[in-house]
């Protein structure tokens, strides 16, 4: 495959790349014969249940475990005192002023969030273990709770961690350009405070861990539902104090992650420790309730965003102050996420000056960390909302406003004010394609007509850019490269060992497609192995839309090494120069095509090694560790059309259009699936999802009854199209697609609803846009009453003019 992915490097047209190949993963999944961690049942296996704190903040005065221990079938009960030698839960981030509290696997002395584990029960079966957990008595002395992240920074607040004398975990400022001058010379400053609510990732497979320790071999094997088996292996070895060579981590079938399994959790320290301590296999399964309590949450920021504008719509500068609720402890990447938010505040716009100030705050809640998009949806939301608000204040159409501020395609690679270098993009083409697909002009006409009959139609546009293929190692906390080992077996069948351990992304299929094209063989002959640290060379994992762009590229480059080796051997056997060898359709041919050797024969001769060139290394295996030179920056345009019932606040999503550009596409079916899923999660945030802790730190949304995961009938059919702008960062020209939908759709939806309600004076509504909240926003704009404006809206209430007359009028800043 050449740079644009249209042709293979041997000159033949690509055969498999670009095809909607059915997934190789699926037969085992649709028959229910695959194995997720919970599906393994081994002889002698014990079951672990954790006792968790019912308080958000309390002193542990005493723990009585006698009754639990006495229950027949209970093997052992341990508390934080027993596990004090187990290493703390790691945080991979280092920052100058970052406060890092010790994060024990079982709490000692004090609990700091609801659901923090305080004791571990091990029993012969799960029912007995659960019964025993009920028998553990813990005396707690409740402490004042820190819930509100703004109050947490005041002087008279209790502290989550007394030793820091503050709840401020870190500060981070990104500043470039003359921001003061930009705001001084602005004709108009659009400003808005926006909440990005706390979310729960809710992978359908809850987390699960099994551990087995064989003292004779000094071998600890841990099965875990994780996105990062190798990083986890390293961390487990540190936590339990074994040499890393004694630890094997297996990520079997993993039932979704969305960032929540890009982590190292308490249970991944406790369960291996229990297996070592007891000399028995131990399994722990997370319940959904525990998943809400003690698997990381996402988002949870308060954003004060300002945009300095010239009258003609030119952006002069952007400022944002962001408070990020980190929860009680840092998980693996907790402090990183808000920094990604800061980085992406340039969006897809030409912004000459910027200042982003972030404060990370400790509260008595579960940690926040990477959830699909991980900092970028927050940035995109701020940017795309403030663009709409700015356009409205100037009386400009949001599309016209965006087009005015996009960099031109010829300016790429484009260096942003935040210091990133965007690889390639055609924002204008994407926007225009989406407008056409959505029927934008007709939607605007209908909107105006609707005002006369009391119908509130809204059109939301979001033009996004995301940072993917994470990433160059210099910019990542734990290595941003990925490994790929391609082994052509003596029979000509191919094994790929990829470090990018997937959890639903279909890498077994896409990676097989790209290798099949390179070697001129069938994807069915390529077996992709992942998720076993004993089999696969060290790798980083699947997250940050990096699987194909980094992991796929590693596989691609390892394949290139083998192709060179095969050409050397083929040239030797056929009596020509290696440069004259072409590979394709199961054969290696000399120039002219008269002499050739089958793929299988050639490979076998590399293993039999009886007739090889001098110095030729037998076998047919190559490994490549790919270090990307830059991130990739997929982009696109999403448009939503909605109708809002002004009497009930109910929002109906009528149409949803996405035009995405993820560079070259290996499997269109899988790419579309990724975008659909992303949109669904983004709309979930915009419309329904919200993790709510009450003032006592109790989780109000602790089940799937209270926390709304979107269902099938919540959505219209999404209409997708794409543009293709290859990335120059990797030889396949691919960018990444896993998070695009989540990043684009949230502001798109809120823009649509605010657009619908603009005639009623509504400027902004915080997510999720539940009917009650929408209705209240409308009611608040009515003069003391609850009824929305009568349908015969005066012309002054229409878009643009209302912006000048109403409360969202243009304001000068000193």
What are the residues binding another protein (CB under 8 A)? 22-23, 25-27, 29-36, 38-39, 41, 126-127, 202-206, 253-256, 258, 285, 287-289, 503-506, 669-670, 672-674, 676-681, 703-705, 709, 711-713, 715, 717-718, 741
Minimum CB–partner distance for residue 130 and another protein (Å): 10
Structure tokens at 80: 């934080």
Minimum CB–partner distance for residue 579 and another protein (Å): 40
Structure tokens at 170: 């870190």
User: d(Cα 122, Cα 470) in Å, to the nearest integer?
Assistant: 39
Minimum CB–partner distance for residue 710 and another protein (Å): 8
Closer residue to another protein in complex, CB, 7/29: 29
Place of tokens 């394709």: 584
Omega prior to 768 cis, within 30 of 0: yes
User: d(Cα 540, Cα 748) in Å, to the nearest integer?
Assistant: 32
Closer residue to another protein in complex, CB, 485/681: 681
Comparing CA positions, the residue from 704, 708, 651, 659 lying closest to residue 685 is 708
Beta pairing class for 718-722 and 651-661? parallel
Structure tokens at 704: 């799937």
Minimum CB–partner distance for residue 235 and another protein (Å): 23
Q: Across the strands, what pairs with 122? A: 48, 76
Minimum CB–partner distance for residue 40 and another protein (Å): 8
Minimum CB–partner distance for residue 241 and another protein (Å): 33
Comparing CA positions, the residue from 572, 488, 586 lying closest to residue 12 is 586
C-alpha triplet 23, 471, 667: angle, nearest 5°:
20
Structure tokens at 725: 């702008």
CB atoms within 10 A of CB 32: 7
Closer residue to another protein in complex, CB, 471/702: 702
Minimum CB–partner distance for residue 801 and another protein (Å): 38
Minimum CB–partner distance for residue 112 and another protein (Å): 26
Structure tokens at 48: 């672990």
CB-side exposure of 495: number of CA atoms within 13 Å? 11
Closer residue to another protein in complex, CB, 2/29: 29
User: d(Cα 626, Cα 479) in Å, to the nearest integer?
Assistant: 11
Minimum CB–partner distance for residue 381 and another protein (Å): 19
Closer residue to another protein in complex, CB, 496/670: 670
User: d(Cα 345, Cα 358) in Å, to the nearest integer?
Assistant: 12
Closer residue to another protein in complex, CB, 675/762: 675
Q: Across the strands, what pairs with 622? A: 486
Closer residue to another protein in complex, CB, 559/674: 674
User: d(Cα 79, Cα 119) in Å, to the nearest integer?
Assistant: 4
Instruction: Supply the DSSP symbol for 153.
Output: G
Q: Across the strands, what pairs with 7? A: 13
Closer residue to another protein in complex, CB, 47/406: 47
Minimum CB–partner distance for residue 202 and another protein (Å): 6
Minimum CB–partner distance for residue 256 and another protein (Å): 4
Structure tokens at 451: 């005002």
Minimum CB–partner distance for residue 736 and another protein (Å): 16
User: Which residues, 6 or more positions from 784, have their beta carbon under 8 angstroms from its beta carbon?
Assistant: none
Minimum CB–partner distance for residue 289 and another protein (Å): 8
Beta pairing class for 596-598 and 208-214? unpaired
Comparing CA positions, the residue from 90, 93, 95, 92 lying closest to residue 170 is 95
| End-to-end Cα, the chain, rounded Å | 57
User: d(Cα 602, Cα 585) in Å, to the nearest integer?
Assistant: 14
User: Which residues, 6 or more positions from 504, have their beta carbon under 8 angstroms from its beta carbon?
Assistant: 254, 255, 256, 257
Minimum CB–partner distance for residue 541 and another protein (Å): 15
Structure tokens at 731: 């030889």
Closer residue to another protein in complex, CB, 319/503: 503
CB atoms within 10 A of CB 710: 15
Closer residue to another protein in complex, CB, 456/707: 707
User: d(Cα 476, Cα 540) in Å, to the nearest integer?
Assistant: 11
Instruction: Supply the DSSP symbol for 580.
Output: G
CA distances from 365 to 113, 261, 638 (A): 5, 18, 33
Closer residue to another protein in complex, CB, 132/182: 132
Closer residue to another protein in complex, CB, 31/163: 31
Rg (CA), the chain: 28
Closer residue to another protein in complex, CB, 567/662: 662
**Contact by Cβ (8 Å): 437, 657:** yes
User: d(Cα 755, Cα 450) in Å, to the nearest integer?
Assistant: 13
Closer residue to another protein in complex, CB, 30/534: 30
Minimum CB–partner distance for residue 676 and another protein (Å): 3
Closer residue to another protein in complex, CB, 23/172: 23
User: d(Cα 623, Cα 499) in Å, to the nearest integer?
Assistant: 11
Comparing CA positions, the residue from 295, 299, 315, 298 lying closest to residue 307 is 315
Closer residue to another protein in complex, CB, 632/745: 745
Where does 203-319 have alpha helices with state H? 229-240, 266-278, 288-294
User: d(Cα 385, Cα 73) in Å, to the nearest integer?
Assistant: 57
Closer residue to another protein in complex, CB, 30/786: 30
User: d(Cα 404, Cα 545) in Å, to the nearest integer?
Assistant: 29
Closer residue to another protein in complex, CB, 33/62: 33
Minimum CB–partner distance for residue 253 and another protein (Å): 7
Place of tokens 């007891």: 278
Minimum CB–partner distance for residue 18 and another protein (Å): 15
Minimum CB–partner distance for residue 31 and another protein (Å): 6
């Amino acid at each position: 495959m050449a740079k644009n992915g249209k042709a293979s490097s041997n000159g033949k047209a690509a055969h498999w790349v670009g095809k909607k190949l059915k997934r190789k993963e699926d037969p085992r999944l649709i028959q229910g014969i695959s194995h997720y961690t919970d599906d393994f049942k081994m002889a002698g296996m014990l079951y672990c249940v954790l006792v968790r704190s019912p308080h958000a903040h309390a002193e542990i005065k005493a723990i009585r475990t006698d009754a639990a221990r006495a229950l027949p079938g209970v093997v052992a009960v341990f508390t934080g005192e027993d596990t004090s030698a187990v290493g703390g839960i790691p945080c991979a981030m280092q920052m100058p002023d970052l406060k890092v509290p010790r994060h024990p696997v079982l709490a000692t002395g004090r609990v700091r969030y609801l659901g923090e584990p305080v004791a571990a029960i091990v029993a012969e079966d799960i029912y007995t273990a659960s019964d025993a957990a009920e028998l553990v008595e813990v005396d707690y002395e409740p402490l004042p709770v820190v819930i509100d992240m703004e109050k947490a920074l005041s002087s008279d607040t209790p502290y989550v961690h007394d030793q820091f004398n503050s709840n401020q975990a870190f500060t981070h400022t990104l500043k470039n350009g003359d921001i003061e001058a930009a705001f001084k010379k602005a004709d108009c400053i659009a400003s808005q405070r926006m909440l990005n609510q706390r979310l729960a990732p809710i992978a359908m497979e809850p987390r699960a861990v099994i551990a087995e320790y064989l003292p004779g071999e000094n071998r600890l094997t841990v099965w875990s539902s994780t996105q990062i088996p190798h990083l986890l292996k390293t961390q487990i070895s540190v936590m339990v104090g074994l040499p890393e060579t004694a630890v094997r981590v297996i990520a079997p079938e993993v039932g979704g992650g969305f960032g929540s399994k890009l982590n190292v959790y308490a249970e991944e320290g406790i369960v291996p420790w229990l297996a070592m301590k007891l000399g028995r296999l131990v399994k722990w399964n997370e319940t959904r309730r525990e998943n809400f309590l003690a698997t990381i949450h996402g988002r949870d920021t308060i954003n004060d965003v300002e945009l300095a504008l010239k009258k003609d719509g030119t952006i002069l500068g952007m400022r944002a102050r962001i408070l990020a609720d980190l929860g009680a402890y840092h998980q693996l990447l907790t402090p990183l996420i808000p920094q990604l938010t800061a980085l992406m505040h340039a969006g897809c716009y030409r912004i000459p000056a910027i200042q982003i100030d972030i404060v990370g705050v400790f509260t008595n809640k579960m940690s926040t960390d990477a959830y699909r998009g991980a900092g970028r949806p927050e940035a995109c939301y701020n940017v795309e909302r403030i663009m709409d608000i700015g356009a409205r204040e100037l009386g400009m159409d949001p599309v016209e406003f965006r087009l005015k501020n996009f960099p031109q395609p010829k300016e790429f690679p484009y260096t942003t004010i935040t210091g990133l270098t965007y690889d390639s993009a055609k924002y204008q083409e994407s926007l225009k394609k989406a407008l056409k697909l959505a029927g934008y002009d007709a939607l605007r006409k209908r909107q105006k007509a609707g005002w006369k009959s009391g119908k509130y139609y809204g059109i939301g546009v979001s033009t996004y850019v995301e940072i993917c293929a994470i990433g160059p190692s210099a910019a990542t906390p734990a290595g941003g490269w990925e490994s790929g080992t391609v082994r052509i077996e003596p029979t000509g069948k191919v094994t790929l060992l990829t470090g990018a351990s997937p959890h639903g992304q279909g890498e077994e299929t896409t990676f097989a497609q790209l290798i099949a094209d390179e070697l001129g063989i069938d994807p069915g002959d390529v077996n992709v192995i992942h998720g076993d640290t004993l089999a696969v060379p060290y790798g980083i994992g699947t997250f940050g839309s990096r699987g194909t762009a980094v992991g796929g590229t590693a596989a691609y480059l390892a394949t290139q090494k083998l192709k060179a080796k095969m050409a050397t051997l083929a040239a030797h056997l056929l009596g020509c120069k290696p440069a004259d060898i072409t590979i394709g359709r199961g054969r290696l041919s000399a120039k002219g095509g008269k002499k050739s050797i089958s793929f299988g024969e050639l490979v076998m001769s590399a293993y039999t090694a009886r007739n090889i060139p001098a110095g030729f290394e037998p076998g047919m295996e190559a490994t490549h560790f790919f270090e990307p030179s830059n991130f990739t920056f997929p982009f696109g345009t999403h448009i939503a059309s909605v109708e809002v019932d002004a009497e009930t606040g109910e929002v109906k999503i009528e149409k949803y259009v996405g035009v995405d550009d993820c560079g070259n596409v290996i499997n269109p079916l899988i790419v579309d699936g990724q975008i659909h899923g992303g949109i669904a999660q983004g709309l979930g945030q915009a419309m329904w999802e919200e993790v709510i802790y009450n003032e006592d730190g109790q989780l109000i949304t602790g089940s799937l009854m209270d926390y709304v995961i979107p269902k099938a009938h919540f959505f219209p059919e999404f209409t997708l199209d794409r543009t293709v702008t290859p990335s120059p960062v990797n030889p396949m020209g691919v960018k990444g697609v896993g998070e695009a939908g989540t990043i684009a759709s949230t502001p798109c939806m809120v823009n649509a609803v605010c657009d619908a309600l603009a005639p009623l004076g509504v400027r902004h509504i915080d997510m999720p846009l539940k009917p009650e909240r929408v209705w209240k926003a409308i009611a608040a704009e009515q003069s003391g009453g609850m009824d929305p404006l009568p349908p015969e809206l005066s012309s002054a209430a229409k878009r643009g003019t209302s912006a000048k007359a109403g409360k969202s009028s243009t304001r000068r800043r000193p």
